[in-house]
Amino acid sequence: MYLEIFANGLFLGAIYALFAVPMSVIWVTTDVIDVSVGAYAVVAGVVAAAFGMPYGGLLGVAAAMALGAVTGTIFLGFHTLRTMKDAMPIVLATFAFMLLMESVILVTVGTDNQFVDTIPGIVLLGDSVIGYQGLFNLTLSVVLMLALTVALKYSPVGLRMKACAISSKNASLAGIAVKRTQFLTFVLCAAIAGIGGVLASMSIGMTYASAFTFTTIAFSSAVVLGQRGPLPAFLGGLLIGLTESFSQAVLPNGWAHAVPAALIIIILASGRLPSAAFSGARP
Amino acid sequence: MSFDARNISIAFGGLKVLKDVSVSVRSGVITGLVGPNGAGKTTLFNCLTGVAHPQEGTVRIDNADISSFPLHQRIQLGVSRTFQTPRLDLDASVLDAVMMGFYSRNKPSLLGGFVASRGRQAREKALREQAERLIAQFELTSDPYQRSSALSLGRLRLLEVARALASAPKFLLLDEPAAGIDEHDRALLGRAIRLAAADRIGVLLVEHNVGFVAELSHHMVALVRGQIVAEGNPQSVVQDEQVMTAYLGGHRVAA
Amino acid sequence: MNSAYKWIGSVGVLVLAIAWVSVLAEFQRSIYSTSTTVGIFALLALPLGLLYGQGGTVSLAQGAFAAIGAYTTAIISTRFNLSPMLSLLPAVVLPALIAFVIAKPILRLPELSLALVTLSIGTVVEVALQRGGDFTGSFNGINGIPTLPFVGNSRIRAHFVIWTVVVVLVIAYVNYMSSLRGRALNAVRTDHLLAEAMGVNVALDLSLLFAITAGVAGLGGWFYAHTLGYVAPDSLSIAVSANVLFMVVVGGRKSVLGPIIGALIFTVASDFLPGTESQGIFFGGILILVLLFSPDGLMTLVPRRWRQRVAASPKPLAVTQAVQTTGAAR
% pLDDT > 90, chain B: 17
Least confident of A129-143, B183-197, C58-72, C104-118: C104-118
At C301 the pLDDT is: 61
At A14 the pLDDT is: 93
Is residue A252 predicted with pLDDT exceeding 50?
yes
For B79, list phi and psi in degrees, rounded to 5.
-95, 140
For C146, list phi and psi in degrees, rounded to 5.
-65, 160
- Enumerate the residues of chain A whose CB falls inside 8 A of the CB of residue C292: 74, 77-78, 81, 89, 93
- Enumerate the residues of chain B whose CB falls inside 8 A of the CB of residue C317: none
Closest partner residue to A279 (CB to CB) among C108, C110, C246 is C110
Closest partner residue to A255 (CB to CB) among C113, C131, C282 is C131
Judge whether C285 is closer than 8 Å to chain A, CB to CB: yes
What is the C-alpha separation between B116 and B176, in angstroms, rounded? 39
Angle, helices C111-130/C84-106, rounded to nearest 10 degrees = 140
Chain mean pLDDT for chain A: 86
- Over residues B57-83, the pLDDT tens digits come to 999 998 899 998 999 999 989 999 988
Interface test with C, best of A74, A100, A220, A253 (most C CBs within 10 A): A100
Distance from CA of residue C26 to its chain's centroid? 27
Closest partner residue to A254 (CB to CB) among C123, C130, C277 is C130
At C303 the pLDDT is: 53
% pLDDT > 70, chain A: 95
CB pairs under 8 A between A and C: 135
What is the C-alpha separation between A65 and C100, in angstroms, rounded? 41
What is the pLDDT confidence band of residue A85, given thresholds at 50, 70 and 90?
A: confident
Q: Which residue has the higher pLDDT, A189 or B143?
A: A189
What is the C-alpha separation between A46 and A217, in angstroms, rounded? 19
At C300 the pLDDT is: 63
pTM: 0.84
- Neighbours, chain B (3 or more CB pairs < 8 A): C
**C180 and B83: CB-CB below 8 Å?**
no
**C123 and A81: CB-CB below 8 Å?**
no
Closest partner residue to B103 (CB to CB) among C180, C315, C322 is C180
**A278 and C284: CB-CB below 8 Å?**
no
- Cα–Cα distances (Å) from C109 to A25, C112, C122, C235, in that order, read 22, 8, 19, 30
Domain residue spans in chain C? Answer: 2-325
At C286 the pLDDT is: 83
Q: What is the DSSP string of chain A?
A: -HHHHHHHHHHHHHHHHHHHHHHHHHHHHHS---TTHHHHHHHHHHHHHHH-TTHHHHHHHHHHHHHHHHHHHHHHHHHHHS--SSSHHHHHHHHHHHHHHHHHHHHHHTTSPB--PPPP-EEEETTEEEEHHHHHHHHHHHHHHHHHHHHHHHSHHHHHHHHHHH-HHHHHHTT--HHHHHHHHHHHHHHHHHHHHHHHHHHT-B-TTHHHHHHHHHHHHHHHTS--SHHHHHHHHHHHHHHHHHHHHHSSTTGGGGHHHHHHHHHHHHT-S-THHHHSS--
Closest partner residue to A269 (CB to CB) among C105, C112, C287 is C105
R_g of chain C computed on alpha carbons = 20
Is residue A97 predicted with pLDDT exceeding 60?
yes
Strands B2-12 and B56-61: antiparallel
Question: Cα distance from A123 to chain C (closest Cα, Å)?
Answer: 35
**C127 and A93: CB-CB below 8 Å?**
no
What residues pair up with C192 in beta bridges, in sequence order? none
**B116 and C178: CB-CB below 8 Å?**
yes
Is residue B255 predicted with pLDDT exceeding 70?
no
Least confident of A203-217, B107-121, B227-241: B107-121
pLDDT by position in tens, chain C (length 330): 345 567 777 888 888 888 888 888 888 888 888 899 999 999 999 999 999 989 888 888 999 999 999 999 999 988 888 888 889 999 999 999 999 988 877 776 677 777 888 889 998 998 888 888 778 777 888 888 888 888 888 888 889 999 999 999 999 999 898 888 888 998 888 888 888 888 899 889 999 999 999 999 999 999 999 998 889 888 888 889 989 999 998 888 888 999 999 999 999 888 888 777 777 788 888 888 888 787 777 666 655 544 444 443 344 333 333 334 433 333
DSSP strands (E only) in chain C: 142-143, 230-231
Judge whether C281 is closer than 8 Å to chain A, CB to CB: yes
Domain residue spans in chain A? Answer: 2-278
Class of domain C2-325: mainly alpha
3 state DSSP class of C230? strand
Chain mean pLDDT for chain B: 85
Let me know: does B57 contact B7? Beta carbons within 8 Å. Answer: yes
At C311 the pLDDT is: 41
What is the C-alpha separation between A102 and C281, in angstroms, rounded? 8
- A53-63 mean pLDDT: 88
Is residue B145 predicted with pLDDT exceeding 50?
yes
